[in-house]
Amino acid sequence: ERYLQTKLYGRKLQLLSVTSSTQAVAKELAEEGEPEGTLVFAEQQTVGRGRQGRSWHSPPGKGIWMSVVLRPELPLRSAPQLTLMTAVAVCQAIRKVTGVESGIKWPNDLLVGGKKVCGILLESAGEDTRMKYCIAGIGIDVNLEQEDLPGHLQGIATSLKLAAGQTQDRAELAAEVLLRMEQLMELYQSEGFQPIKLLWEDMSVTIGRGVSVAGHQGMNTGRAVGLDDSGGLVILDESGALATIFSGELELD
């Protein structure tokens, strides 16, 4: 096989020309008992979903709009760590296949020159405190042109094609993302979050920067200093106090 080098991930594949959201399709498949690594890939999504209730622009044939079923033997509370792990996998794959150096904005946006090229949406289902499955949704703006970006994304989003100056092979990139995800999941299961955390910090454009986050406890402003062991972002504020952020939308100064 020229492309897919995984043992499991992407071996069961549902390829759709158009769907509402690959997240919804993957969730149905997971509920029906489809195994770890089952992949749903769409050429176009009509109601692509982003984090925090936002929509995700998913025009036909230009991006990677895909969702992977994961069934790790883990507690439900490790979901945030899997989100960070997925960001590392995509960042590694983009570097390998396109040469574009993207950086991770906490928790899991990939930026090139300050503009977003990839978003990740991880949704998990639990049984008590155990993770039943989770769906890793990945949206990569691969070959979008400037005019494919709607007004509200102009200046905020970009694509790998725009960044690299040439059309990129979506199949090759998707296969590399799946390979990296499979490898990092093995690493996570054998050695825990620590090695993933180091990789994430290394690829981050967040650590060391001034940040502000609107969260449940109001506005947190300070310097991002690292990840804690659960995947939260540790911020040092002006008064010298440390705070850990677990959710919310981050602004980089």
- Provide the binding-site residues for ligand BTN, judged by CB under 6 A: 21-23, 45, 48-51, 54, 56, 58, 65-67, 109, 119-121, 137-139
Q: Which is nearer to ligand BTN, 198 or 214 (CB)?
A: 214
């049984």: which residue's tokens? 127
Q: Which is nearer to ligand BTN, 57 or 161 (CB)?
A: 57
CB of 239 to ligand BTN, least distance (A): 32
Backbone angles phi, psi at 248, to 5 degrees: 120, 175
Q: Would you list which residues are annotated within the binding site?
A: 45, 49-51, 116
Backbone angles phi, psi at 29, to 5 degrees: -60, -40
d(CA 93, CA 175): 9
CB of 115 to ligand BTN, least distance (A): 13
Nearest to 58 by CA among 71, 35, 42, 73: 42
CA dihedral of residues 238, 240, 244, 249 (deg, nearest 10): 10
Q: Which is nearer to ligand BTN, 137 or 222 (CB)?
A: 137
CA–CA distances in Å: residue 181 to residues 86, 163, 187, 229: 6, 23, 10, 20
Which residue of the chain is nearest ligand BTN when measured via CB?
119
CB of 191 to ligand BTN, least distance (A): 27
CB of 76 to ligand BTN, least distance (A): 20
CB of 136 to ligand BTN, least distance (A): 9
Residues 182 and 7 sit within 8 Å (Cβ to Cβ): yes
Backbone angles phi, psi at 243, to 5 degrees: -130, 145
CB of 58 to ligand BTN, least distance (A): 6
Q: Which is nearer to ligand BTN, 104 or 222 (CB)?
A: 104
Q: Would you list which residues are annotated within the binding site for biotin?
A: 45, 49-51, 116
Q: Which is nearer to ligand BTN, 138 or 162 (CB)?
A: 138
Q: Which is nearer to ligand BTN, 116 or 197 (CB)?
A: 116
